[in-house]
Structure 1
Amino acid sequence: MSIGLLERAEERRKAALAQLDSEEQAQRGQYFTPHLAAQIIAGLPRLPAGESVRVLDPGAGSGILSAALVDRLRVWRPDLRVHIVAVESDSVLHPALSETLADLETVEGVTTELVDADFLVWALSTGQRFDLVIQNPPYAKLRTGSDPQNLLRGAGITVPNIYAAFLELGLRLLVDGGQQVAITPRSWMNGTYYSAFRHHFVRTAGIDALHTFESRSKVFGDTGVLQESIVVSATRGRTPDQVIVHTSYDHDSEPSSRTVAYQDIVTPDFIHVPATESDAKAVAWMATHAQHTLADLGLTVSTGRVVDFRCPEMLHHDRVDGAVPMVNATHIRGGVTQHPVGAKKPEWFHTDPVAAGKLLVPGGHYVLIKRFSAKEERRRVVSAVWRSEDEVAFDNKLNYIHQDGHGLDAEAANGLAVFLNSTQLDSYFRVFSGHTQVNATDLRQMRFPSLDQLRQLAAVTSHDQLEIDAAVEAVLVPAGVKA
Structure 2
Amino acid sequence: MEKRQQPITVKSIPGNPPGDWGESLLDFAHRAGRLFVTGITRDEQKAAGQFMTPPKIAKFMARRLVQSVDLPHVRVLEPSAGGGVLIAAVVEALLEKPDLPASIELLLYEQDQRLIPTLESLCRSITEVCTAAGVRFDYVIRCEDFLLSELALRGEPVEGLLTIANPPFFKLNKASDERARRHAYAVYGQPNVYGLFMAATARLTPANGRWCFIVPRSWMNGRYFKAVRHTMLRYLSMDSLHAFESRRDSFEEDAVLQETVIAWATGRAVRESGLNVLFTCSQGVSDLDQASVQAVPSERIVADDGDATVTLPSEGVSLMDAWSATLASHGLKVSTGPVVAFRCKEYIRAQPSHDTVPLLWMQHVGQQEINWPVFKKLEHVRATAANAWTLVVNTPMVLMRRFSPKENPRRVTCAPYLGTLPGAVIGLENHLNYIHRPGGRMSLSEVRGLSALLASSVVDRHLRAIAGSTQINAGELRSLPLPSMNIIEAIGCRVPEFPTLEAIDAAVEAELGPSATVRTVAA
TM-score with structure 1 setting the length: 0.88
Name the CA shift for 1:378/1:406 in 2 (closer, same or farther; >3 Å).
same
Structure 2 CA distance, aligned partners of 1:323 and 1:151?
A: 49
For the pair 1:431 / 2:438, whether they are aligned, the reply is no
In the other structure, the counterpart of 2:31 is 11
Change (3 A) 1:134 1:374: closer
Are the equivalent residues in 2 in contact too, given 1:330–1:343 (CA < 8 A)? no
Change (3 A) 1:333 1:213: closer
2:406/2:470 contact within 8 Å kept: no
- Corresponding position: 1:59 with 2:94: no
Partner of 2:240: 209
Following the alignment from structure 2 to structure 1, what is the Cα–Cα distance between the partners of residues 160 and 426? 58
The answer to whether the Cα contact below 8 Å between 1:36 and 1:252 also exists between their aligned partners in 2 is: no
Distance in 2 (alpha carbons) for counterparts of 1:36 and 1:434:
23
Which SS does the other structure have where 2:253 is aligned? coil
Q: Report whether the alignment pairs 1:346 with 2:378.
A: yes
1:302 aligns with 2:332: no
What corresponds to 1:272 in structure 2?
311
In 2, Cα distance between equivalents of 1:405 and 1:17: 57
Secondary structure of 2:129's counterpart equals coil
Distance, in Å, in 1 between the alignment partners of 2:514 and 2:252 is: 47
Q: How far, CA to CA, are the matches of 1:29 and 1:338 in structure 2? A: 39
Evaluate the alpha carbon distance shift between residue 377 and residue 2 of structure 1 in structure 2; reply closer, same or farther with a 3 A threshold: closer
- Equivalent pair of 2:400/2:414 in contact (CA under 8 Å): yes
Unpaired segments of 5 or more residues in structure 1? none
* Cα 1:221/1:311, change in 2 over 3 Å: farther
Q: What is residue 383 of structure 1 aligned with on the other side?
A: 414
- Deviation of 1:387 (Å): 2.7
The residue aligned with 1:197 is 228
* Post-superposition offset of 1:316: 3.6
**Percent identical:** 32
Distance 1:217 1:299 in 2: 37
How far residue 165 of structure 1 moved from its aligned partner, in angstroms, is 1.2
TM-score after normalising by structure 2: 0.82
The Cα shift of 1:252 comes to 3.7
- Residues in 2 aligned to 1:402 and 1:126: alpha-carbon distance in whole angstroms: 46
Counterpart position of 2:368: 335
Aligned positions of 1:276-291 closer than 5 A: 279-281=314-316, 284-288=318-322, 290-291=323-324
- The question of whether the paired residues in 1 share the 8 Å contact of 2:247 and 2:260 is answered with yes
Q: 1:100 aligns with which of 114, 119, 122?
A: 122
Provide the C-alpha distance between the structure 1 equivalents of 2:456 and 2:265, rounded to a whole number of angstroms: 34
Instruction: Report if the CA contact (8 A) 1:307-1:395 is conserved.
Output: yes
Q: In structure 1, give the amino acid aligned to 2:140.
A: E
- The structural deviation recorded for 1:344 is 2.0
Once the two structures are superposed, residues 209-228 of structure 1 have per-residue CA deviations (whole angstroms, 9 ceiling, x without a partner) of 11221221232233342121
Greater shift after overlay, 344-353 or 164-173?
344-353
Q: Displacement, 1:474?
A: 4.5
Deviates more, 1:404-413 or 1:100-109: 404-413
**What is the Cα-based RMSD across aligned positions, in Å?**
2.8
> Quick one: structure 1 residues 92 and 464, their matched pair in 2 at CA, closer, same or farther if it must change by over 3 Å?
closer
Counterpart of 2:22 in structure 1 is 2
Post-superposition shift, 1:374?
Answer: 5.7
For residues 161-189 of structure 1, give each alpha carbon's deviation from its aligned partner in whole angstroms, at most 9, with x where no partner exists. Answer: 11111111111111113210000110011
Q: Distance in 2 between matches of 1:38 and 1:199?
A: 27
Residue 317 of structure 1: CA displacement? 4.1
Q: How far did 1:111 drift? A: 2.4
Q: CA deviation at 1:264?
A: 2.4
Amino acid at match of 2:250: V
Relative distance call for 1:398 and 1:7 in structure 2 (3 A) is same
1:142 to 160, 172, 177: 172
Take 2:473 and 2:412, find their aligned partners in 1: how far apart are those partners? 10
Amino acid at match of 1:52: H
The equivalences for 1:359-398 within 5 A come to 359-373=390-404, 377-388=408-419, 390-398=424-432
Deviations, residues 427-458 of structure 1 (Å, cap 9, x unaligned): 22122211233232321232222334333333
User: Cα deviations across residues 28-82 of structure 1 (Å, max 9, x unaligned)?
Assistant: 3222223232222212212412323111111112211110111222122462232
1:188 paired with 2:219, answer yes
| Counterpart AA for 1:450 | S
Residue by residue, what CA displacement relative to the aligned partner does 1:353-395 show, whole Å, maximum 9, x if unpaired? 312x121101211111122336885222122222326201112
Q: In structure 2, what is the equivalent of residue 319 of structure 1? A: 352
Are residues 375 and 148 of structure 1, via their aligned partners in 2, closer, same or farther at CA, if it must alter by over 3 Å?
closer
Counterpart residue number, 2:11: none
Q: Distance in 2 between matches of 1:22 and 1:372?
A: 25
More displaced, 382-391 or 88-97?
Answer: 382-391
Q: Which amino acid in structure 2 is aligned with residue 303 of structure 1? A: T
Task: State the partner residue of 2:293.
Answer: 258
The Cα offsets for residues 193-222 of structure 1, whole Å up to 9 and x where unpaired, read as 112322342343222111221221232233
Q: Tell me which moved more, 434-443 or 61-70.
A: 434-443
Q: Distance in 1 between matches of 2:287 and 2:453?
A: 35
Matched, 1:399 2:433: yes
Give structure 2 stretches of 5+ with no counterpart: 1-20
For residue 167 of structure 1, the aligned residue among 198, 210, 215 is: 198
Q: In terms of mean alpha carbon deviation, does 196-205 or 103-112 score higher? A: 196-205
Secondary structure of the 1:85 match is: strand
Is 1:472 equivalent to 2:508 in the alignment? Answer: yes
CA distance in 2, matches of 1:375, 1:191: 17
2:60 aligned to which of 40, 62, 65: 40
Is the 2:159–2:208 Cα contact (8 Å) retained in structure 1? no
Q: Hey, what's the Cα distance between the residues in 2 that align with 1:71 and 1:366?
A: 58
